[in-house]
């Protein structure tokens, strides 16, 4: 964790935070190393650990927290929100006033989020570990093992961020709260109006994530109509109406408009929550004009027109249904088809044969009957009509085959027809039926055309320019797959710079399409569906890429983490090569005679020792080496005035800034820890002994001793002279 006790902020904020970032980078690298390949989609190949160019960073799922990845990714890719988090800073005066546990916790969470965002901007890793931030957030619920309600966590996250920025605003009055950047970004207001005793009563309320019901609606606009108007609402598609006296109208829309789709309901009979898998469509661009308070009169007029058109549409559909399903019995048929069938019956030629009589079939052409049919000769096979059966008749043992035996084709059954009809009657019936059928077909076509016309009028009711002035573009879709009790979360986020959709599924970030998004998000087809839609009112442009968008202290933090990452890769490669060498030695057959000693090298120990030296303190297990090396390196990178030259503070800083060889720097650091004067407690003695053992492992062939002894002596001499000279000037 980055910060264990937020009270330490009140001492020396900048110094402590700088050191804390260094430790956090080390701990983050250790976490990533420990958990490597634990999650799905994580590869054990170093090539798959490295972030690809122009590819966003994924977030590891640390124990039932895939919701965290989906929510954080959608917020991180909001340019305004990203800048707010990365540039968050509190003055020491404000920090001294932070005494409550909640204030300290919120500050700690904000700093962890800053570090996480910094890594997501500039890390060389394909995915990062959010454990520190997740643990702070999850501790508030004390149920780390259970799959949590993502809505509850999202509300809590935004509340903490709002409180953290409220500290930066340094005020608790309503005006200061309105200046809170979280409030300005995610919160809006609506006017609730209701008719009471002939008077309109209204009040203004604030909203953040706006909840919408899914049941009973087909698309997002219908959901909004149902949520905004608790009165007689006329939806474009639904036939249901609700009666109440209250209406809601948005008076101020936030830049980020979030709709929370209610896809879970409690089943009273089963005694448990269930997920609603109903299909719900939503557009890539939604126009909010019709829901604004300033457009009340215009929207009321449109709603009245919608009601009139819907009534007209209902009548037209009922008429069409009467023609398409005609009849008074349980089975109904299209009227035009029925008239056609009657016409076909009337025009069928009558016959003298009674419909009830059974047509007689001619006798089958089979072999003549005799006492010994097996001796029947081909000449006795029958008449010429049965010539096709000669082969069957020549068999010694004839077999009766009722379905394959040769016979003349049967007469087709007769079509129903009138017993008798005169030419005059036929002419009269035919003309009437043809005329009626033509009339029915014309009426059906007219009804269909009228229905299409009314439907188009309904669809375009809110599509004219006057009600298309406030567009909101879809920024992110948060998806849940599974049932109410458990499932998996991921997010689709639009990449405005490259005009594409990206799918963020924990550590996996892949390019996607709108078709795939629809398939996973609309619902109704699988157990995956959207539970949250995030729209933005304007494309503010993609946030700055790379390290340029980070404050200097976070740039150093990311560089340090990337350095640890490069070390991880080197360690993995060394371990892999060593394992390969061991496998070769195991598989290699043992010769009968001993080999020449020159042909029996033992690369493993030498390689180990070489690695120990080449990596220096970065490969050691003692945190003291890591921390001291990192501290002095960062100190050497600072830009200061000549009077405050950091090279005067430590010889290693002097070596860093004068670009001394790495082996020299690393051995110098080990020599520092091996000094007997530092053995003032057990821990120091342990560090001293380990440093000395490291030095003993360094062989003469591992480094140029002249380079180590001669050049550093001259460098240290210059360092001492410069230090004494500057001290003399200062005094």
- Residue 580 and residue 607 in contact, taking contact as beta carbons nearer than 8 Å: no
> Tokens standing for 17?
């935070």
Q: Can you tell me the distance from the alpha carbon of 106 to that of 157, in angstroms, rounded to the nearest whole number?
A: 10
Sign of CA dihedral 549, 553, 557, 563: positive
> Tokens standing for 716?
């240290």
130, 132, 138, 140: CA torsion to nearest 10:
-150
Residues 6+ apart with CB under 8 A from 636: 646, 647, 652, 653, 656, 657
> Tokens standing for 326?
């005609």
Whether residue 488 lies in the annotated active site: yes
SS3 content of the chain, % helix, strand, coil (to 5): 55, 15, 35
Nearest to 183 by CA among 207, 212, 151, 211: 207
- Residue 239 and residue 485 in contact, taking contact as beta carbons nearer than 8 Å: no
Q: Can you tell me the distance from the alpha carbon of 394 to that of 378, in angstroms, rounded to the nearest whole number?
A: 6
Active-site residue identified among 6, 66, 98, 389: 66
Q: Can you tell me the distance from the alpha carbon of 517 to that of 75, in angstroms, rounded to the nearest whole number?
A: 19
Which value, in Å, is the radius of gyration of the alpha carbons in the chain? 42
- Residue 66 and residue 130 in contact, taking contact as beta carbons nearer than 8 Å: no
Q: Can you tell me the distance from the alpha carbon of 129 to that of 116, in angstroms, rounded to the nearest whole number?
A: 8
- CA 389, 395, 401: angle at the middle one, nearest 5? 60
> Tokens standing for 407?
């016979």
Residues 6+ apart with CB under 8 A from 569: 46, 49, 50
Active-site residue identified among 10, 155, 432, 488: 488
Q: Can you tell me the distance from the alpha carbon of 204 to that of 192, in angstroms, rounded to the nearest whole number?
A: 6
313, 314, 319, 320: CA torsion to nearest 10:
60
- Residue 645 and residue 637 in contact, taking contact as beta carbons nearer than 8 Å: no
Give residue for tokens 């009922």.
Answer: 318
Give residue for tokens 């919408």.
Answer: 212
CA distances from 160 to 136, 137, 140, 146, 172 (A): 11, 9, 11, 21, 15
User: Which contiguous run of DSSP H or E holds residue 229?
Assistant: strand 229-230
Write out 450-511 in H/E/C secondary structure: HHHHHHHHHHCCCCCHHHCCCEEEEEEEEEEEECCCCEEEEEEEEECCCCEEEEEECCEEEE
Nearest to 192 by CA among 235, 242, 230, 233: 230
Whether residue 432 lies in the annotated active site: no
Main-chain dihedrals φ then ψ at residue 415, nearest 5 degrees: -70, 145
Give residue for tokens 């961020």.
Answer: 161
> Tokens standing for 174?
């309503």
Q: Can you tell me the distance from the alpha carbon of 198 to that of 187, in angstroms, rounded to the nearest whole number?
A: 32
Say what angle helices 131-139 and 150-169 make with each other, to 10 degrees.
Answer: 100
Residues with a known catalytic role: 66, 488
């Amino acid at each position: 964790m980055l910060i264990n006790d937020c009270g330490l902020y009140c001492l020396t904020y900048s110094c402590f935070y700088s050191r804390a970032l260094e430790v956090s980078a080390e701990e983050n690298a250790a976490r990533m190393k420990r958990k490597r390949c634990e999650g799905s989609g994580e590869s054990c190949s170093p090539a798959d650990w490295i972030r690809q160019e122009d590819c966003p960073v994924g977030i590891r799922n640390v124990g039932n927290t895939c919701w965290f990845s989906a929510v954080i990714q959608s917020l991180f890719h909001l340019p305004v929100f990203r800048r707010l988090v990365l540039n968050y800073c509190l003055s020491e005066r404000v920090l001294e006033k932070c005494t409550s546990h909640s204030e300290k916790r919120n500050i700690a969470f904000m700093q962890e989020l800053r570090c996480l965002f910094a890594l997501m901007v500039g890390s060389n890793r394909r995915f990062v570990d959010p454990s520190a931030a997740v643990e702070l957030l999850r501790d508030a619920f004390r149920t780390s093992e259970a799959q949590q309600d993502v809505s509850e966590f999202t509300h809590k996250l935004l509340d903490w961020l709002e409180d953290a920025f409220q500290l930066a605003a340094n005020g608790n009055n309503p005006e200061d709260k309105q200046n809170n950047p979280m409030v300005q970004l995610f919160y809006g207001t609506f006017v609730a109006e209701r008719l009471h005793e002939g008077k309109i009563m209204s009040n203004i309320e604030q909203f953040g994530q706006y909840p919408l019901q899914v049941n009973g609606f087909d698309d997002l606009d219908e959901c909004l109509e149902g949520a905004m108007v608790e009165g007689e609402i006329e939806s474009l598609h639904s036939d249901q109406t609700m009666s109440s006296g209250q209406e809601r109208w948005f008076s101020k829309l936030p830049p980020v408009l979030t709709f929370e789709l209610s896809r879970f309901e409690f089943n009273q009979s089963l005694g448990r929550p269930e997920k609603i898998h109903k299909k719900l469509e939503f557009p890539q661009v939604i126009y909010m004009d019709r829901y604004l308070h300033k457009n009340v009169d215009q929207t009321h007029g449109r709603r009245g027109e919608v009601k009139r058109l819907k009534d007209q549409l209902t009548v037209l559909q009922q008429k069409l249904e009467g023609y398409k399903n005609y009849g008074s019995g349980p089975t109904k048929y299209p009227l035009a088809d029925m008239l056609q069938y009657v016409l076909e019956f009337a025009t069928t030629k009558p016959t003298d044969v009674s419909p009830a009589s059974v047509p007689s079939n001619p006798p089958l052409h089979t072999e003549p009957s005799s006492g010994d049919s097996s001796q029947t000769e081909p000449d006795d096979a029958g008449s010429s009509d049965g010539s096709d059966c000669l082969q069957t008749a020549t068999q010694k043992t004839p077999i009766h085959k009722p379905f394959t035996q040769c016979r003349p084709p049967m007469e087709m059954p007769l079509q129903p027809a009138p017993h008798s009809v005169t030419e005059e009657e036929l002419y009269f019936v035919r003309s009437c039926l043809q005329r009626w059928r033509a009339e029915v077909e014309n009426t059906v076509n007219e009804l269909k055309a009228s229905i299409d016309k009314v439907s188009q009028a309904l669809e375009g009711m809110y599509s004219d320019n006057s009600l298309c002035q406030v567009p909101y573009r879809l920024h992110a879709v948060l998806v849940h797959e599974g049932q109410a009790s458990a499932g998996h979360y991921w997010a689709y986020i639009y990449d405005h710079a490259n005009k594409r959709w990206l799918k963020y599924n924990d550590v996996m970030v892949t390019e996607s399409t709108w078709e795939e998004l629809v398939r996973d998000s609309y619902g109704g087809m699988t157990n995956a569906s959207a539970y949250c839609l995030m729209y933005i009112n304007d494309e503010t442009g993609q946030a700055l890429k790379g390290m340029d968008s980070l404050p200097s202290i976070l740039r150093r933090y990311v560089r340090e983490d990337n350095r640890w990452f490069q070390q991880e890769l080197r360690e993995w490669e060394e371990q892999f090569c060593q394992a390969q060498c061991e496998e070769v030695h195991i598989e290699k057959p043992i010769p009968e005679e001993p080999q020449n000693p020159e042909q029996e090298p033992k690369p493993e120990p030498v390689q180990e020792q070489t690695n120990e030296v080449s990596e220096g303190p970065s490969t050691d297990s003692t945190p003291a080496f890591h921390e001291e090396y990192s501290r002095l390196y960062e100190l050497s990178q600072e830009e200061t005035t000549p009077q405050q030259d950091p090279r005067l503070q430590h010889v290693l800083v002097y070596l860093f800034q004068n670009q001394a060889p790495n082996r020299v720097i690393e051995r110098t650091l080990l020599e520092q820890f091996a000094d007997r004067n530092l053995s003032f407690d057990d821990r120091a003695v342990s560090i001293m002994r380990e440093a000395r053992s490291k030095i003993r492992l360094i062989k003469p062939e591992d480094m140029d001793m002249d380079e180590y002894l001669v050049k550093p002596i001259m460098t240290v001499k210059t360092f001492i002279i410069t230090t004494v000279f500057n001290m003399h000037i200062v005094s």
